[in-house]
Each structure stands twice: as C-alpha cells, then as structure tokens.
Amino acid sequence: MTLTQEQVQELKKQLSQQIQHLPPQQKEAAQKQIDSMSPEALEIMLKQQQTQGPSPKQGPQKTIFRMIVDGDITSTEVDRNKKALAVLDINPISKGHIIIIPKSPVSNAKDLPTTAFSLAKKLSKRIEKKLKAKSVEIQTETKFEETIVNLIPIYDKPLSIHSPRKQAPQEELEKTAELLRPMKKKKTTVIKKKKKTQETEILKLPKRIP
C-alpha cells in the first residue's frame, strides 16, 4: 500500500489533533516530529494500527521513539549500549544534535538509566573533538509521554531544547554520523615467532682398544 499525498496530509492532521492536550512547548516539538515523518513511516504506523485493531487489550500505539528503537523507521544511528540508543535529530538545533532514547520507555527523568547518561558523556567528548564544539548541553526532555536525553553542541552562542530548529538533509546527517561513530577496531593477527634452538652436535669418538 502506497499512501497518496492526500492520505499523508490526512494522517498528519489526525496526529496533530491527538497532541492538542500537550503543553505549548511539548506540542510544538511533537508537531515538528509529525511534520517531518516520511510517507513510509506513516504507512508503517498505519499498518500497525490496523493489525492491533481497536481492542483496548492491545495497549497504546507505538510512539515515534519506540518505532526508532524497534527499527520500524529508519534513523541515523551514532552509537548504542545495552540500555540506550543514540541517533541524530532530524530537526537539529545545531550540527551534531543527538537524542538518546532509552530502549525501554521512561516517562520521568529520574527513571532514566545511568547508562544513558554515560553514553551522553562519551558522545559529548566525541562531539567536542570531532565537530570542534566549544561545549555540549545535556538536557532531558519529555515528548510523546517519553523522556529522552538531548545532546546539543554549542559553537558560538548559548542554546537549549527550546532554541529554533532546522531540518537537516539525510546526506548531511550521514556525514556527521560518520564523524561521531566509534572507530572500528582493526583485527590484528599475532604471529608467534619460533625460537631458534641451537643444536649441539655430539661427536662420537671411536673406542680405543687397550
């Protein structure tokens, strides 16, 4: 099933209606996420809703963050650990803006796994080194009833999660990700040198006849 342009617009309109109860700042961020969703992402979400059906026993629909973690929609991954996934924000505040998403949904900042912050600190150092940022703002944010961690590189002026955003082309995101991804360790083959042994020749003298 390929969605038409009219269907895409209608789905985005329906999603926008679902976020009207959010506070202004959260609603603005959620709206930007909805506006940036591709037709493919909307199609996947629609299929999931049709499969799950209207039964309340099926539980809530997946958020955009669950879809990223589960691989339902493509994202530009930078790094990960056992508890969290780090991807580039498609609407960054500055170059190298990363969001860290817990692999299990968290609704409160105090419940974020410590490994999410250790990943944040590691990536912050990498941003400063590879992207020449002066510093990195680490700020938590709650969107779609989930809490994530934002890494916002600072280059010349102070920024926060409320600063203006811009849409980044996928090609630009991929180039940035290549700089920030961990270097692959080269496999080295250790060749053991055999120790040379000196053989001592034993000369057998003929027995003397008395």
Residue 85 CA to residue 67 CA, distance in Å, equals 12
**Residues 111-134: pLDDT tens digits?**
999 999 999 999 999 999 999 999
Tell me which CATH code domain 5-180 carries: 3.30.428.10
Q: How many degrees, rounded to 5, is the angle at CA 68 between CA 74 and CA 62? A: 125
**Residues 5-28: pLDDT tens digits?**
777 777 777 777 667 666 777 778
Higher pLDDT, 79 or 202: 79
Residue 29 CA to residue 22 CA, distance in Å, equals 10
What are the φ/ψ torsions at residue 133 (nearest 5 degrees)? -75, 145
**Residues 150-208: pLDDT tens digits?**
999 999 999 999 999 888 888 999 999 999 999 876 655 566 665 555 544 545 555 55
What are the φ/ψ torsions at residue 143 (nearest 5 degrees)? -140, 145
Domain assignments of the chain as residue spans, ordered by start: 5-180
pTM of the model: 0.63
